[in-house]
Amino acid sequence: MNKTSRVAATLQTAATGFILTACGAADPAATPGQAASHHTTSTQTSPAPPAAATSTRQTSPPRDDGTRPVDQMKITITIGNQQFPATLSDSAASRDLLAQLPATLRMDDHAGVEKTGALPVPLSVEGQPAGADPDVGDVGYYAPGNNLVLYYGDMTYYNGIVILGHLDGDAARRIADMDGSITATVTSSHQ
């Protein structure tokens, strides 16, 4: 072996040793001075994901009339002589909305996609994501403005939106046909 070949072989051995030593240092299972082998299968497991946040609320939903869970709670939105049924999902925000019904709201039209009206009392956003991308027909809450929102057009994701439930049947289409501001009376279907 000539001098150049010996130098190259020495450099390659040193580089391999350096890489193995560096990898061993990053391996928490390796002891000091022990290099990790890249030819063995690691039995190391990934750290467990953080535990999901647990709610202090009861696990089975309360019943509104003794027979139906809150997650199937119905409300009715009356605008003029038309009624628009909606189904709310079980959430702290929906329960807070139900607690303040009946409520009559002046609702303004925004961007040809939604009608919004200020609620008397803010709703809880406990357990809700930072925002949402509502679908046509969703009933929502815009937390920064304390507004109940009826989505009749396509809206994109926006921070502060909480989805409360969904308008039933063709309600979104019928609300879309109403120009400008409206007055809506929102009641629980079980009051």
181 domain-assigned = yes
- The number of folded domains in the chain is 2
pLDDT at 68 over 90: no
63 domain-assigned = no
Q: How many residues does the chain have?
A: 191
- Average of pLDDT values for 43-66? 35
55 domain-assigned = no
Tell me the CB-side half-sphere exposure of residue 133, using CA atoms within 13 A. Answer: 2
Lowest mean pLDDT among 10-14, 38-42, 125-129: 38-42
51 domain-assigned = no
Q: What is the pLDDT of residue 189?
A: 81
Tell me which residue range forms the domain holding 102. Answer: 70-188
174 domain-assigned = yes
pLDDT tier for residue 55 given thresholds of 50, 70 and 90: very low
* Residues 82 and 173 grouped into a single domain: yes
* Residues 30 and 92 grouped into a single domain: no
61 domain-assigned = no
pLDDT at 131 over 80: yes
165 domain-assigned = yes
pLDDT at 50 over 50: no
- Average of pLDDT values for 125-151? 97
* Residues 180 and 115 grouped into a single domain: yes
CATH number at residue 164: 2.40.100.20
Q: What is the pLDDT of residue 190?
A: 64
* Residues 10 and 76 grouped into a single domain: no
pTM: 0.63
